[in-house]
Structure formats: C-alpha cells, structure tokens
Amino acid sequence: MAETHSSQRLKILALVLAVLAVGLFAGYALSSYSSQTQIAKLDSNIAGLESQLSSVQLQIASIQSGGNYTVLSVDSLNPLYESVKGSIVTIEGLVAEQGFFSTTYSEVLGSGFVVNLTGQPLIITNFHVVDGMINGSVTFTNGEAYTFKVLGEDKYSDLAVLQVQAPADLLKPLTVVSSGTLNVGDVVIAIGNPYGLQSTMTSGIVSQLNRAIQTDISGNYLISGMIQISTPINPGNSGGPLLDDQGRVVGITADIVSGSQSVGFAVPSDAIIREIQDLVTTGTYSHPYLGVNGYDLDYLTAQAAGLNITYGVLIQTVSSGGPAASAGLRGGTQTVTVFTGETVSVGGDLIIQVNNQPVRTMDDLTSYIDGNTVPGQTVNLAIVRGGVTLTIPVTLGARS
C-alpha cells in the first residue's frame, strides 16, 4: 500500500510538472510570435518611412537644382482658398432687352478679381460679363459694394478691366504668372460665384492648351490660346480667376461647351499680361489679322483632296482685300464631299508652318499669330500648293 500511494503521488507530481512545462512553452511561443509580429510591423513601417524620406529628398534636390517636381498630395485646399478669397469679387448689374412694346431688364451676374499690373489695383473680368451692363456694381466678400468704371475691353479675348473706388484694404491683388508655365495634367482651381453662390471653389486639371473657340461675342473670329479645363464652369463663374496649385492666376474662367460634361475654357493669363497696358491707356487692344477661313486637314479629307499630307490648315476662302489675299494665298477651287458626308473646299493652299512653327490645326495657327505677333508684322507661312512647298511672306493687318 505504501508503494501504491507513493507511486500515485509521483504520477500526480509528474502530471503537474508536465502541465507547467506545456504552459511555459506555450507562453514562450506566444510571446515569441507576438514579438516577431511586432518586429515585422516595425520593419514595414521603417521601410515605408525610408521610402517617403527618399521621395522628399528627391523633390528637395530637384527644387534646389531648378528642375521640375511633383507635389505628392495635400489634405485640403483650404489654406489656398483662405489666402485668395478676399481678392475675388461678385459683379452684378442689369442688361436691357428690347421687346415688341417695351424694354425689360434682366439681371447679369459674374465674377472678377483684383490685380495690380500697371501700378494701380484694378478688377479683371470677362467682356461678356459687363457688355451692355447698366447699374453695375462690384461686391467684396465682406458684403461691401461699389460702382465701377470700365477702363478697357476686348471682345476678341473676352477681357474687361474695371476701376472701382473702394478702400485700399479691400483691393488685395492676386499674383499673375504666365500661362506658359502650364502643362496638360496640371491641377487648376477656379473660384467664382456660380448661380450667385459666392466664393465657390472647384478644381480640376488642364485638359489641353491653345484651343481656339468661337463664341457669340467674337463674331467671325476665334478666341485663341484658350485653356481647356475639366474644372466645372457654371453661369456666374465667368470672370473669376483660374489658379495654379500655388494660388497664382494662370487664366480667367470664361465659357463652357453647351451640353458638355465638365469641359470648360479659360482665357490665358498671357492675354491679361499682353493687353492690360493698352486696355487701361487706350480702352482697346488691336489684334493681328490674317484673313483666311481654314479647315483642319485629316486623313479622310486628304484622300478626298488628293493630298499626300494629312495635317495642316486647308484654306477654304481668302478674305477679299485682306493680308492673305494681298500676299497671293489661294482658297479652294472646288467642293468635295468626304466619307463623313461633310462638304469641304479643296484645291486651295495648305498651311503647314508659320515662322517655322508647325501648324497642324487652326488652333495652332490662330494661337501663334494672336500670341506672338502684332498688326503690321510680317510672318512667313510655309504652304503646300500643287504638291510643292512654298514660303509666302504675309504682312498682318488689324481686326476691325
């Protein structure tokens, strides 16, 4: 019996020791696994921080060397908005509409912003915002409103310059830089008063540059050099600033394509820089004039016209007595129908260069002439006529 009891005690003791050993091993294993997991997480975090540090170092090196760099991201555009909102104004007034029996008046609403490019703070807006406006006023973000005087206007660039007798502390000019700094894909911000909703910010990207569009106000001429943007533009936005990601003016929001989805246009800031002195001192700006009506050549039209080149501006008509006519440029001599069913005049000159700059479309031609020349200047057009490339000098006129 003594041996039996002793044996049982030994078995119980062995079992207890075994349970303790298993517990200690399990605790060690769990602790080891947890430590390894934490170490792995720390290693991953360190690798991520090292990657971000490397990216920042590359950006700093690029900035120091004067190169291009890309801003990774920002949590909010609010600091930019707060820094510029006081410079953006609401422009409103009335436009007369003549009916059969009486004259009625409708309200016009737009946007504008303060600049100082001539030594005095002035308001920039679109021509179409103030065209024909009576009882017009400029309202600042604090609610104070003042009447204005139109110093100069240009319907061919959709620009107007206003003078307002407001206190100096309200006239906070924005920085204006060349729109030539823009690239397709750059982030841009528009601030204006769509539908009267004051100080509304929207953002998008530059979709394309140097577009030429025709509007009701520009008549038979194209407004050239326009910036195409994905930023939503609505009634009331017109005349507000288009800003880059540093809050600098690169354009003036101007127009939308009817029925489009998020396709807008802005007048380039280069037009402001180029024109403002003339607009302030003379009230107008004189645009160069070539005097051709052109068609953008494509593959189907080239086939129909029997041409072996598929780009350029195919001259449809030449304005009688204009610069192009005086230089001997020729318009189309016959009409053909291309495969799309469109009617095109062929047989005329094909413009492929202006001052050694490639001309692929009418956008290229008008944007170059309007942005780089003045009336009275002579340009050299490279044309294709009868399969032969010629250089024709043309002395530009002025739009009337």
Catalytic site positions: 128, 158, 238
CA 8 to chain centre: 91
The first and second tokens of residue 105, run together, are 């008046």
Q: For residue 74, what is the DSSP state?
A: -
Size of the chain in residues: 400
Cβ neighbours for 289, distance < 8 A, ≥ 6 positions apart? 322, 323, 375, 396, 397, 398, 399, 400
Spatial separation of the C-alpha atoms in residues 348 and 332, rounded to whole Å: 4
Coil, strand or helix at 355: coil
Contact between 367 and 212 under an 8 Å Cβ cutoff? The reply is yes
Say which amino acid occupies 329: L
Spatial separation of the C-alpha atoms in residues 361 and 352, rounded to whole Å: 9
Q: For residue 195, what is the DSSP state?
A: G
Cβ neighbours for 382, distance < 8 A, ≥ 6 positions apart? 351, 352, 353, 354, 356, 389, 390, 391
The first and second tokens of residue 178, run together, are 């060349």
Question: Which residue carries 């030994």 as its tokens?
Answer: 10
Contact between 162 and 125 under an 8 Å Cβ cutoff? The reply is yes
From the list 162, 184, 191, the residue with the least C-alpha distance to 83 is 191
Which DSSP helix (H) or strand (E) runs through 290?
none
